[in-house]
Structure 1
Amino acid sequence: MPVSGTILAFDFGLKRIGVAVGNTVTRQAQPLAIISAASNEAKFEAVAKLIKEWQPALCVVGLPMHPDGAAHEMTVRCQRFANQLHGRYGVKIALVDERYSSAVLQAKQGERIDDQAAAVILQQYFDQT
Structure 2
Amino acid sequence: MRLMGLDYGDKTIGVAISDELGWTAQGLEVIRRSSAEKDLERLSEIVRDYGVTEIVVGLPKNMNGTIGPRGEICQAFAETLHEILHLPVRLWDERLTTVSANRTLLEADVSRKKRKQVIDKMAAALILQGYMDSQSKR
Asked if Structure 1 and Structure 2 have the same fold, meaning a TM-score greater than 0.5 normalized by the shorter chain, the answer is: yes
In terms of Rg, which structure is larger? 2
Aligned counterpart, 1:18: 14
Aligned counterpart, 2:65: 69
TM superposition shift of 1:44: 1.0
TM-score where L is the length of structure 2? 0.84
Q: Deviations over 1:4-62 (max 9, x none)?
A: x1001100011100000004625100001111132111111111111111121110000
Question: As a proportion of its length, which structure holds more helix?
Answer: 2
Question: Matches of residues 1-129 of structure 1 in structure 2 within 5 Å?
Answer: 5-23=1-19, 25=21, 27-107=23-103, 108=105, 110=112, 111-112=116-117, 113-129=119-135
TM superposition shift of 1:77: 0.7
Aligned length: 125
| 8 A contact 2:98–2:120 mirrored in 1 | no
Task: Give the counterpart letter for 1:120 in structure 2.
Answer: L
Tell me which stretches of 4 or more aligned residues in structure 1 moved more than 3 Å. Answer: none
Structure 1 unaligned spans of 5+: none
Structure 2 unaligned spans of 5+: 107-111
- Cα root mean square deviation, aligned: 1.5
